[in-house]
Structure 1
Amino acid sequence: MNPFEQKAGRPGSAFMSWKALYPKAYQKDETDAYTKVRIILMTGTEYEAVWFSHQFHRHCDNNDLRRELAVCRRVEQQQQKQLACLKPTDETQLETTITYEQLAVDLTAILAQRDPDPYVVQALNFALLEDFDHLYRYADLLEMEQGVRAERLVGSYTEIMPGRPTIAHHRHPMDSVRRPCDFKTAHPLTKLDTSIITAAEQQTMNYYMNLGAFYPNDLGRKLYQEIGMVEEQHVTQYGSLLDPTCTWLENLLMHEYNECYLYYSCYEDETDPYVKGVWEQNFEAEVSHLHKAAELLKKYERKDWQQVIPEGAFPELLKFSPQKEYVRKVLKKTVELTADCEQYTPVYEMPQSALFFKYQKTVNKGGAQNTPSHRVIADYQAKNGQDYRFEEKPNPVPALRDRKTDNTTLGRECSPEQ
């Protein structure tokens, strides 16, 4: 599939009526977990497209170009609103959060296994273990407060157990910045993967940033606050992998190509007939946006789209499937890593003068008992005798197998514990 070869309409032809804009919501207890995952992925992709377009608009002094951006952006806004309303009204904030974290885990694992750039793979694997632990923390809160077992929500596709403990995720901001990729020489998958994961993690960051304070009790509000700060680190990490030398119009073309790729992937992967139709409709709209972006690139920068995307045909499509064994492998091998400027280093090899330890002392002042991610598990264990998990076999890290005690030192203190 080459979207540059598809017939394209005018971007404004995709405007929707209010009736079309409000879709039929999925059934939360019947819909496949990966359908819900794809919906969140594409909601975040549309948000990224809208936000990028606004930033382009604010840094552009040509009103003819700004008007073209405004037309496409209005369609993107409608798409984002439509996708967000596929979520049913009876799905709670915490239930939706479980799907956010399942997306983070399985998407990251899929991209890490296919990306040809070893440095990008390192970044993906590093954050993977943190999102995996977040899923566990939220799942325990959900079962404790609502009696809902998250294994049902994830369709048993994704295990739920401790990863790198969330208390160990808190690092100095300087340690979140990575080396950027060079999109002129990068593999097509690397250009797509870095764009996809940045948008997906940004959506999670925004969700926690905007809705965390609406949780109905202090324990949940504090957990969203803590994990929301980790998501800021993840978005900084992934955003720093993007090529900062691309022009605004080159970036616009890449955004539209990425959306075409993802909608087509979702269409090919989807099992729900109604949602599959939404993917097809939005793919057609994005093809028109892509052709408009190519036209604007040619008009204002005298560049052909092939100079930005040499191979217009899509590489292998994104397909969701369980990633249990890969997550276990990464957990076993890298649970003790922490970020060390632009690299990753076992925490027990870091000097005590490292920014990591200084930042840890500040944010975790008062000890683990004052850290929300630990408090949730401690409260659950006190109430039920042991934590809630969904694991098909024991955790691959021996230090994380005790279900009656929450480990708060792994990946955080200087002596190896595996």
Structure 2
Amino acid sequence: MTFNPLQERGIPIERQFRNWSELNVAPYDKESVHPFSRCRGIVMNGAEMEAIWFSHNMARHTADPQIKQQLALVRRAEAQQQKAINWLIPGDETTLEVTIGYEQVAVDLTAWIARHEPDAYLRQVYEFGLLEDFDHLYRYANLMALTEGDKKAEQIVGGLTEITPGRPTIFEHRDPRDEIRRPMTALAAETQSVLNALTVMAAEQQTMNFYMTIGNRPQEPLARGLYAEIAEIEEQHVSHYESILDPTASWLTNLVLHEYNECWLYWSFMQQEPDARVKALYELHLNMEIEHLRLACEMMRQVENRDPAEMLPKAMTEPLMFQDNKAYLRQVLGAQVDLTASEDRFLPIGELPRDHRYFAYQAKVNEGGVPSEQVIDAAKSRLGRDYRFESEGPNPAEGLRRDDERNGAKTQYAERLAA
């Protein structure tokens, strides 16, 4: 199935606004919802939030009142879309349950993106971040085992995503200057690369926003500490992913690409969604986004005298899919767990010079205790062992296996920091 939103007729913008009861949608049932349905909703919430904030920032950088009005009109419709999507989350789903969903998104979304990234450097960017989010899922799952013992993280992820250590969060803290990657050239890059970058950036940005907002809600000091630590990594990840975007692309080019990306996401997810009610919501929003894209393209023609069709593909051919990535994740984890970053390069931790700024930053932020390590220590102490869901066997990185499985092997990170 192919799809070209430039050739479709959407809902006229004047007919897109809904009343409060239409926006106050009935939430899903947390006990019966498919885990990937939860994931798709989280992604679309992030995409809508990115669309809203991009539009606000564009409005702050233009003096043209007509452009400001057009942006405001579309932005209001986007804000209503965000409410309808985000209100699918039920009030009885705990903050930690929602968090597990966010981290499953970070793992399986980024894994699919990496597997479908045509550029080798960009694929490495995604694989690098993937192993860090994979570890976050493990840390939060152990927090759940400690604080919500009657609920296991494997139930929330539906057994579709393994829960085991990734690149340990303690070692993810790097000097901010080493989070900046090489940017693509949007007009020369394959469209899939642009869509991949916009999608992962929006999802990571939403995770950052979520943790910064709700991280202070738990009462347990250990939980509050873990959210503070991982929220900081999510900010790193936003820097990591936003830096691969083309900084020379015009505001209107970016506006068109944002609207095209939303069309791709809704088109992708409406094909997979098993809940008829949610599928209908995605289809409605797709028809709205087709109009948003048309308006952005018309603005580009009028202001820049450029035809957007020249920079967009003739059709969308492959939808973004939430699916099993266990084998792929194991392959990446086994091969790349010991990588770190220095400026825009990825290299084994053992290759960093001893005076590299990584070690000074590590010493500063990890002084006095590290919540992501403390939560595992607490799980081992109170539960007898850390919580894992390893459906495919022991962790592929021997240094990350349980003590009775690893024969004394350590990661290069552990060996280097101990030296």
- Report TM bin, short chain: over 0.9
| Selected match of 2:279 from 273, 276, 279 | 276
Return the TM-score normalized by structure 2. 0.96
Q: Distance in 2 between matches of 1:152 and 1:47?
A: 28
Q: Compared with structure 1, are the counterparts of its residues 356 and 203 closer, same or farther at alpha carbon in structure 2 (3 Å cutoff)? A: same
Contact 1:378–1:405 under 8 Å retained in 2: no
Q: Which residue of 2 aligns with 1:308?
A: 311
Instruction: Classify 1:224/1:132 alpha carbon distance in 2 versus 1 (closer, same or farther; 3 Å).
Output: same
Question: Which of 202, 208, 224 is the matching residue for 2:211?
Answer: 208
- 2:411 alignment counterpart: 410
Structure 1 pair 36/403, CA: closer, same or farther in 2 (3 Å)? farther
**Cα separation, 2, equivalents of 1:207 and 1:200:** 10
Name the counterpart of 1:185. Answer: 188
What is the distance in 1 between the residues matched to 2:303 and 2:415?
55
Q: Note if contact 1:348-1:413 (Cα within 8 Å) is conserved in structure 2.
A: no
Q: Deviations over 1:212-234 (max 9, x none)?
A: 01122211111000000001111
Instruction: Please state how far the C-alpha of 1:55 moved relative to its aligned partner.
Output: 0.1
Q: Partner amino acid for 2:396?
A: P
CA–CA distance in structure 1, aligned partners of residues 170 and 417 of structure 2: 16
TM-score (norm 1): 0.96
In the alignment of these two chains, the number of paired residues is 413
3-state SS, counterpart of residue 412 of structure 1 = helix
Alignment correspondent of 2:293: 290
SS of residue matched to 2:194: helix
- Taking the TM superposition and a 5 Å limit, the aligned residue runs for 1:225-304 are 225-304=228-307
Q: Which residue of 2 aligns with 1:222?
A: 225
Tell me what 1:47 maps to.
49
Q: Which residue of 1 aligns with 2:79?
A: 77
**1:12-411 to 2 correspondences below 5 Å:** 12-147=14-149, 148-309=151-312, 311-366=313-368, 370-392=369-391, 393-402=393-402, 410=411
8 Å CA contact retained: 2:399, 2:410: no
Kindly report the root-mean-square deviation, in angstroms, between the aligned alpha carbons of the 2 structures: 1.7
384 and 183 in structure 1: CA distance in 2 versus 1, 3 angstrom threshold: same
Q: What's the CA shift for 1:414?
A: 5.4
- Give, in whole Å, the separation in 2 of the partners of 1:397 and 1:30: 34
Q: Give 2:9's aligned residue.
A: 7
AA in 2 matched with 1:220: A
Query: What amino acid is aligned across from residue 210 of structure 2 in structure 1?
Result: Y
> In the alignment, is the contact (CA less than 8 A) between 1:12 and 1:72 conserved in 2?
no
Q: Contact 1:28–1:88 (CA<8 Å) still a contact in 2?
A: yes
Q: What amino acid is the match of 1:44?
A: G
Q: Shift of the alpha carbon at 1:306?
A: 1.8
Moved more, 169-178 or 356-365: 356-365
| CA contact 1:226–1:373 (8 Å) conserved in 2 | yes
C-alpha contact 1:212 1:225 (8 A) present in aligned 2: yes
**C-alpha distance in structure 1 between counterparts of 2:51 and 2:57, whole Å:** 10
Secondary structure of the residue that 2:33 maps to in structure 1? coil
Measure the CA separation in 2 of the matches of 1:243 and 1:308: 14
Partner SS, residue 214 of structure 1 = coil
C-alpha offsets along residues 359-408 of structure 1, whole Å, 9 cap, x if unaligned? 10111113xxx100001110111001100100021111111111689999
Q: Check whether the contact 1:208–1:224 (CA below 8 A) recurs between aligned residues.
A: yes
Whether the aligned pair in 1 keeps the contact of 2:398 and 2:410 (CA below 8 Å) is no
In structure 2, C-alpha distance between the alignment counterparts of 1:373 and 1:213, rounded to whole Å = 16
Per-residue deviation at 1:412? 3.0
Distance (Å, rounded) in 2 between the aligned partners of 1:208 and 1:331:
25
Q: Residues of 2 paired with 1:64 and 1:111: CA distance?
A: 37
Q: What are the superposed Cα offsets for residues 256-297 of structure 1, whole Å, 9 maximum, x if unpaired?
A: 000000001000111111110110010011001000000101
Q: Distance in 1 between matches of 2:11 and 2:84?
A: 20
The 8 Å contact of residues 51 and 78 in structure 2, kept in 1 or not, is answered as yes
Q: What amino acid does structure 2 have at the position aligned with 1:397?
A: A
